[in-house]
Structure 1
């Protein structure tokens, strides 16, 4: 039985996001040390992404709100895996990630990151 090539799917997703998307930033905010204190550390990572509004049929007002965006982020060249607590900057607006899906079908290769961003 042949194995599926997820790296090829990743490359295809990257090409589409690069063609139709835009440059953006994923910012990871690391909290201060609980013992030593200090200031939170923000680290920006450049990314290629496509922000899209949710279709009205998915908006329930609780889990998905009107202002939420579904953001497709290319995993190629991104040093981190976007997760809840990170902030995505797209179209000049900051969106806090409230939900995400790394799309790791083989538990190794992230094909594309799909996150739910909230203003």
Structure 2
């Protein structure tokens, strides 16, 4: 029997759409190594659910007070959120410091779960 990961992706997308909020994942493209310049931000609309970490997971090093666990729908998102991207949620910008793409079959992104830290 074959598990339908695309169906799981759609289910996760529906749940996040129902309980989540509109947000943005912004990727900063670094400046040209020869010509220099400023990093170029590219925003990608996303649907997401930001959640505070439970106190028992906050160790002050890997997970700090104020960090958010952010579930991002893979449905319709043109990129895989990764370390270095910025997620706008709850009126705050969070830098992704850790992430788990949840690609259970190695191919299909079901949901992105990232650790966001207030961007400075």
**Coarse TM-score class (shorter-chain normalised):** over 0.9
- Any unmatched runs of 5+ in structure 1? none
2:15 maps to 1:34:
no
Equivalent position of 1:72 in the other structure: 71
Distance 1:16 1:3 in 2: 23
Distance 2:58 2:14 in 1: 29
Residue 37 of structure 1: CA displacement? Answer: 0.8
Residue 31 of structure 1: CA displacement? Answer: 0.8
Deviations 1:29-81 (A, max 9, x none): 01101111111100000000000000011000000001100000000000000
Equivalent position of 2:4 in the other structure: 5
Distance 2:65 2:17 in 1: 26
Equivalent position of 2:22 in the other structure: 23
Equivalent position of 2:113 in the other structure: 114
Q: TM-score scaled by structure 2? A: 0.97
Equivalent position of 2:60 in the other structure: 61
Distance 1:98 1:52 in 2: 15
**Matched residues, number:** 118
Distance 2:26 2:108 in 1: 22
RMSD: 0.5
Q: TM-score scaled by structure 1? A: 0.98
- Any unmatched runs of 5+ in structure 2? none
Deviations 1:5-41 (A, max 9, x none): 0011101100110000000000000110111111110
